Amino acid sequence: MAIAPGSHGRLRGVVSLLLALGMSWSAAAAEVCPDTAALEPARAVVRDLQRISTPNGIQEQYATPIGGVPQWLTIHGEDRANPVILFVHGGPASPVTPSLWQFQRPLEEYFTVVDWDQRGAGKTYAEAPPETIAPTLTIDRYVDDAIEVAEHLRAHLGQRKVILMAHSWGTIVAMQAALKRPDLFHAYVGIGQIINQVENEKISFEYGLAQARAHGNTQAIAELEAIAPYPGNTPITRERIITARTWPQYYGGLTAYRDDSKYYFGAAKLSPDYTDADRCNIDKGSVLSLGPLLPQMLKVDFTPITRFPIPVVMFMGRHDYTTPTAPTERWLNNVDAPFKQGVWFEHSAHMVPWEEPGKTLLSLVNIVRPLAR
């Protein structure tokens, strides 16, 4: 994201959510966790808002063994009979749990929503030493984790299948899980879908440079032209990717019509689901995960997948230049699936559920929920 070019806050946000490594990793790891006890009265209000009080509702948060590591699940829903959504968060290591209070409550009237803190992320980060987790940080391992979570939920919630919904980095994991075990899932919903990571980098860069030129932003033009052509044939290093990502996000490619996303990056401060240590572990998870996972992500290419085994729905932000939508739209037009539909969010960029929560709810209820019958 971009608050002000060069600011620590912007780089921290980029590290937490995206494929950019602009902040000093050693500095991040050394940060002292702030004491936010003064915010507890506000968190109490959020906690009460989140409370499920219906007779057949469910509200649970617990760690369960997944892939040899205790991993945290947060389960909210007003009726256990409703279809189950498994939300595979982005990042890597950017759990949705600390911000779910911003958009998820209405969804819980129609679905049982499961938010999963992946290995090395959020509340799961503290469940195993980083040096133990680091060698396991492979896309294949995350895919198997997702499958194991789905199998656990089928047994725990008494449902034959679940709806698989993913955001950003999570779409890499979830798409492969759906391809590997389609029997577990009613449907797949991709938000900020990644089809080809290298193509995304090129489109995002070109948008940032075009915007910089249109606005006469000499600093942005100089920084972007210094790494052109991007990605080109030069390796995508930490330094190049942070430069390439800063300016598209500054010009609304992360959150439409905004040059910052404080609402998202500050969400954990008011989350009643996270302790201060959990909040600090969000950054630590990024430190742990992005290094080994970035080279793997740059090899991702779903373009050759021309048949998809379950219904697929893509939520696409019209202004998304973090995971640009052109490759997703093209892939969806060409793929053969039992059911497929693209939904455009005209006032969103990358953060669709946060930017247009009402349309997210309506789309899930009207398009996706019937697929679970």
pLDDT at 308 over 60: yes
Residue 353 lies in a domain: yes
CB 203 within 8 Å of CB 324: yes
Residue 89 lies in a domain: yes
Residue 16 lies in a domain: no
12: confidence class by pLDDT, cuts 50, 70, 90: very low
- Predicted TM-score (pTM) of the model is 0.92
CB 364 within 8 Å of CB 111: yes
Give the DSSP letter of residue 158.
T
pLDDT at 20 over 80: no
Q: Is 10 helix (H, G, I), strand (E, B) or coil?
A: helix
The Cα–Cα gap between 247 and 204 comes to 9
Order across the sheet with 69-77: list the strands.
58-66, 69-77, 112-117, 84-88, 162-167, 185-191, 312-317, 340-345
What is the pLDDT at residue 102?
97
Residue 252 lies in a domain: no
CATH at 302: 3.40.50.1820
Other CB atoms closer than 10 Å to residue 54's CB: what's the count? 13
The Cα–Cα gap between 371 and 188 comes to 10
For the chain, how many structural domains are there in total?
1
Q: Per mean pLDDT, which range of 14-28, 39-53, 107-121, 274-288 is the poorest?
A: 14-28
pLDDT per position as a tens digit, 311-355: 999 999 999 999 999 999 999 999 999 999 999 999 999 999 999
Residue 277 lies in a domain: yes
Q: Per mean pLDDT, which range of 31-40, 183-192, 270-279, 364-373 is the poorest?
A: 31-40
Sign of torsion, CA 114 119 122 126? positive
Range of the domain at 297: 56-197+270-372
- Please provide the average confidence, as pLDDT, over all residues in the chain: 92
pLDDT per position as a tens digit, 262-276: 999 999 999 999 999
